[in-house]
């Protein structure tokens, strides 16, 4: 555990929310005339999901999945498994995966393939943050809030050992 004083602001609240609203407007244009099935990857994607949804003007359905995550480590385990699956059928639906951050790409590579196999009409990805320099598996990200350097970040849904999710900004840890 580290002290909150060790967290430096990387992206402040105003900048984040302005960019998320832009993404919402772009998504609304792209899905005009369609219904969107938004799938949030818990827990980290929760704050982005709610903020993004507020700027989306097409009809929206919400669902939530829990996938294996970092646990308390600062590095990815490399394995992905489903801990909580979808509540509804996505057969014929236009699916938007809503993720906090893309790192190695393993989670989203696994999830987008899984959702296509479940019969989705389309599967796109919206991520609040992207760390392109960390990619191990290629993934096509359709909507990106911010590309960032390889720093471990917390806040706006992102945790360290389940803490700091409530911070209204993205911060990085000064080790």
- Please, what is the minimum distance in Å from the beta carbon of residue 23 to ligand 5GP? 17
Q: Of the candidates 23, 38, 44, 130, which one interacts with ligand 5GP according to CB under 6 A? A: 44
Q: What is the enclosing helix (H) or strand (E) of 65? A: strand 60-67
- Please, what is the minimum distance in Å from the beta carbon of residue 62 to ligand 5GP? 18
In the complex with ligand 5GP, the residue whose CB is nearer, 31 or 157, is 157
In the complex with ligand 5GP, the residue whose CB is nearer, 107 or 112, is 107
Q: How far apart are CA 21 and CA 27, in angstroms?
A: 10
Q: Of the candidates 36, 154, 167, 170, which one interacts with ligand 5GP according to CB under 6 A? A: 154
Q: DSSP assignment of 107-160, as one string?
A: HHHHHHHHHHHTT-SEEEEEEEEE-GGG-SS----SEEEEE--S--EEBTTB-B
Output the CA angle 146-147-150, nearest 5 degrees.
130
In the complex with ligand 5GP, the residue whose CB is nearer, 24 or 155, is 155
103 noted as active-site residue? yes
**Residue 104 touching ligand 5GP (CB under 6 A):** yes
In the complex with ligand 5GP, the residue whose CB is nearer, 24 or 105, is 105
- Please, what is the minimum distance in Å from the beta carbon of residue 128 to ligand 5GP? 10
| Distant-in-sequence, close-in-space partners of 32: CB < 8 Å, separation ≥ 6 | 58
- Residues numbered 4-43 forming contacts with ligand 5GP, rule: CB under 6 A: none
Q: How far apart are CA 172 and CA 158, in angstroms?
A: 11
Q: Which of 121, 116, 143 is nearest to 48 (CA)?
A: 143
Interface residues with ligand 5GP (CB under 6 A) are: 44, 69-70, 76, 99-107, 152-154, 158-160
Residues with a known catalytic role:
103
């Amino acid at each position: 555990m580290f002290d909150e004083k060790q967290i430096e602001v990387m992206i402040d609240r105003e900048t984040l929310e302005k960019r998320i609203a832009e993404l919402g407007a772009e998504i609304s244009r792209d899905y005009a005339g369609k219904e969107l099935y938004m799938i949030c990857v818990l827990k980290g994607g929760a704050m982005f999901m709610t903020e993004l949804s507020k700027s989306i003007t097409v009809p929206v359905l919400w669902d939530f999945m829990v996938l294996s995550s970092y646990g308390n480590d600062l590095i990815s385990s490399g394995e992905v498994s489903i801990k909580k699956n979808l509540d509804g059928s996505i057969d014929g639906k236009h699916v938007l995966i809503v993720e906090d951050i893309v790192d190695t790409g393993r989670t989203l590579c696994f999830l987008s393939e899984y959702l296509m196999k479940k019969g989705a009409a389309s599967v796109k990805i919206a991520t609040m943050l992207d760390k392109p320099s960390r990619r191990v598996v290629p993934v096509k990200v359709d909507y990106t809030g911010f590309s960032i350097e390889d720093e471990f970040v917390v806040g706006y849904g992102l945790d360290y050992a389940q803490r700091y999710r409530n911070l209204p900004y993205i911060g990085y840890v000064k080790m």
